[in-house]
Homo-oligomer: A and B are copies of this chain.
Amino acid sequence: MQMTMRVTIKDVARLSGVSAATVTRALQGHPRVLEATRLRVEEAAQELGYRPDHIARALVTGTSRTIGLLIPTVSDPYWAEVAEGIEQRAAEEDFSVLFASAHGNPSRAEKMLDVFLGKRVDGVVVTASAGAEFTVLDGTSAPAVVVGWDPPVAPAEVERAAGASVVALLDEEGRRAGAPIPHVAFDDVGAGRIAARHLLELGHRRIAFLGGPATLAALLRLLGARAVLEQAGVSLESAALGADALEDGRVAAVGLLQSEPRPTALVAFNDLVGVGALHAAHSLGLAVPGELSVIGFDDIALAGFVEPGLTTVRQPKREMGARAIDLLLSVMRHAPSPGGDRLAGSLVLRGSTAPPPSA
């Protein structure tokens, strides 16, 4: 029955014959401590298996080297990857991450944030798709950043903007207007352009867009794609969808593919919708990519597991997480808040796109 006592700085001090203060200094690599002393202390610490108590340290220094991560859910692979990027970068900077999922429940989010604050996190990163999590941050004293912000937009606004230019939705620097706190986001407009350009280069001229729910991301991707296509004299029809991406994507694609003239390529708002479109093509007996090309966005794992593999515009999820930490650190250092960060997508070629049949 060995009741193991915690070994404290005092034990190390005693064993190495110095004061606690010196132990601290020696162990932290403080400049003004005799080399011999440092060695003696380090040996003693080693021998006793001393591990500094971060709790006590945090109490006195006022910094816990811990950040809080509020995430909708980690079982969505998209968020999981972002989370991984966050954790990795945080670890590199010697920060731990406390995580909690709110599952879209604002009161839960609020409670978790409270817990974080009580545990004296040095900062908070909120991953959010809906933006509802923002309200939670309102009275918060801790530095905070948001990653992956994608607020819903009113249908009316979609209508209006769909005809107008992209600019209305972004501020002068191309960042999302109205974001209340520093954030890192995906360059949806640019991603839309990339997708459109790819199809154009393959020779497609009859292209349709399968939208998602009325969110900013869906809208921006559409606008980006349309801008490029119109410059080439190609118009882009679009269909809006509901919440069940896969199934709605399938149904909408079936509809589009039965219209005349049939599009030769589909731009899906995201990969899930894209896979739905693949299912639709399959059920209609249309060969992909022989008779129909499909391109998605995000590059979730599923895109690589279907047959044919889904060509997509990759979202650098891991890096977005890493950037969120960088941004948070700079906010914590009271550096002039950079406002936001917008990461570019990249084309991932798989089997679902090819030149149109006639070409």
Contacts and interface: CB of A to CB of B under 8 A. Distances in A.
Interface of A: 4, 49, 51-56, 58-59, 64, 66, 73-75, 77, 80-81, 83-84, 87-88, 91, 96-101, 112, 114-120, 139, 141, 246, 272, 275, 279, 282, 301-302, 305-307
22 contacts: A53-B120, A55-B119, A66-B98, A74-B74, A74-B87, A75-B83, A77-B301, A80-B80, A84-B101, A87-B100, A87-B101, A91-B100, A91-B112, A96-B100, A96-B115, A96-B116, A97-B99, A97-B100, A99-B99, A275-B305, A302-B305, A305-B306
B141 A4 contact: yes
A52 B119 CA distance: 9
Given A80-B80, A112-B91, A141-B4, A118 B302 contact: no
A114 B84 contact: no
Contacts of A118: 51-54
A73 B77 contact: no
The 9 closest A-B pairs by CB, nearest first: A80-B80, A54-B118, A54-B119, A75-B80, A75-B81, A55-B58, A75-B84, A55-B120, A74-B80
Contacts of A98: 66, 96-99
Contact of A83 (B64, B66, B74, B81): B74
Nearest to A119: B54
Contacts of A302: 301-302, 305
A114 B246 CA distance: 43
A61 to B, nearest CB: 10
A101 B91 CA distance: 10
B88 A119 contact: no
A54 B306 CA distance: 48
Given A4-B141, A55-B120, A307-B279, A84 B91 contact: no
A99 B75 contact: no
Contact of A101 (B54, B58, B88, B119): B88
A281 to B, nearest CB: 11
Nearest to A95: B115
A99 B119 contact: no
A77 B49 CA distance: 37
B84 A74 contact: yes
Residue of A56, A112, A117, A118 most packed against chain B (CB within 10 A): A118
A54 to B, nearest CB: 5
B59 A55 contact: yes
A81 B59 CA distance: 34
A83 B64 CA distance: 23
Contacts of A96: 98, 100, 115-116, 119
